[in-house]
Structure 1
């Protein structure tokens, strides 16, 4: 009985978690759409209320509208007129107390993470943490900057060390490049390894003729 129970669990657990995550994302998008419709009821004439209520009751409409809105926003933001309008909007938001602190911080982080030319979360590495002799997987987010970068002499890297099994929380470290070991695994493979608590290990890469020297150097480091 235990054998069959575990076999059934292994079949349904990944499917159930996948459905749960998708349901949460779709629910969030529907919630944003419903909030916009509620705001529209306060602005539009009362005659529009029945139409807005009907739109709220259509399942999946919020996901379609929000997806279309993101695409249209992206089209608008990639042309000259849209970029000018976004710059003007950013200037206005950056002049509002409290709002400017939140907006500027979130914008800098999102620009760094999602920029196609950025290096954040493009590379997985091994680093000794939380003590010497213990190793964990981290992601390179760049190099230390500002006042912290001025105090750190030498070649340092900024690392994000995610927690297990929830990688959305973690620790920020600034360590010398010589103290990390570069990995050939992709970021997706590293995340699977972390979330599974080391159970789902990425395949060992095929070593080419040019790679042994690199691997030996990393092991000595």
Structure 2
């Protein structure tokens, strides 16, 4: 009788330990899931705010270094106001744009461009930078307005690319004429580097996703993308 009671107590003890172990594993799994969820929620906004703060702080320091010491915002105000340097920079750029739109301002801009154009190295850099900014800000072309698929780096393998314009001039003639497009194939996870390719228009597959969705997919390595990827008819 005592042996039976001892066996029963031992079985209950083992079952109790098993339930405790199962509860412990369940609690650990839940805490791990909560941890990853917290990181997923807070990391993007934290990194975004941190980068924004770096930009604002960098611009404030730049403006402070350009202004004379008596005219620093910290000297004029009894407290520190973050972002005041960025506001002053925006006002300065607006004033420059207003002056450049006039006759005298336009003449000064042309005179400055003529002087830079006579410098062997600087004229190439200035021309390239100006063309990029005119393309992006003035929206004079369809640069980075379309996401496509191109065969890269070998036939049968496809990569996300962005159409930057139509191939024209000597390049089009060297390629035998026809309808060609300039495409930029970015690298992952850094989309600022990549490859410039010239592809026949009928060999690219336009996608319905936006440029923002395409960049998200490139940066995340395919982890983040549109829910429905639709291919347009060529």
Instruction: Decide: shared fold, TM above 0.5.
Output: yes
Partner of 1:134: 157
CA 1:75/1:116 → structure 2, altered by over 3 Å: closer, same or farther?
farther
CA 1:19/1:81 → structure 2, altered by over 3 Å: closer, same or farther?
same
Q: Partners in 2 of 1:182 and 1:106 — Cα distance?
A: 28
Residue 195 of structure 2: which of 157, 164, 171 is its match?
171
Unaligned runs of 5+ in 1: 42-48, 207-213
Please list the CA deviations of residues 164-221 of structure 1 after superposition, one character each: whole Å capped at 9, or x if unmatched.
2221222111111111011222212211222222222224379xxxxxxx94x54xxx
Q: Partners in 2 of 1:118 and 1:79 — Cα distance?
A: 26
CA 1:118/1:124 → structure 2, altered by over 3 Å: closer, same or farther?
same
Q: Partners in 2 of 1:195 and 1:71 — Cα distance?
A: 33
Residue 60 of structure 1: which of 65, 83, 89 is its match?
83
Q: Secondary structure at the match of 1:126?
A: strand
1:14 equivalent to 2:44? Answer: yes
Q: Partners in 2 of 1:183 and 1:83 — Cα distance?
A: 41
- Aligned CA RMSD, in angstroms, stands at 2.5
1:123 equivalent to 2:153? Answer: no
Whether the 8 Å contact between 2:207 and 2:229 is mirrored in structure 1 is: no
Please list the CA deviations of residues 71-116 of structure 1 after superposition, one character each: whole Å capped at 9, or x if unmatched.
2233333444433332222112111232222212211222223222
Counterparts of 1:197-208 in structure 2, within 5 Å, are 197-204=221-228
Structure 1 stretches of at least 4 aligned residues deviating more than 4 Å after TM superposition: 55-58
Residue 156 of structure 1: which of 180, 185, 191 is its match?
180
Whether the 8 Å contact between 2:134 and 2:140 is mirrored in structure 1 is: no
Q: Partners in 2 of 1:3 and 1:132 — Cα distance?
A: 41
Q: Partners in 1 of 2:81 and 2:53 — Cα distance?
A: 16
TM-score normalised by the chain length of structure 1: 0.78
CA 1:70/1:127 → structure 2, altered by over 3 Å: closer, same or farther?
same
Q: Partners in 1 of 2:189 and 2:53 — Cα distance?
A: 20
CA 1:55/1:135 → structure 2, altered by over 3 Å: closer, same or farther?
farther
Q: How many residues align?
A: 200
| Structure with max Cα Rg | 2
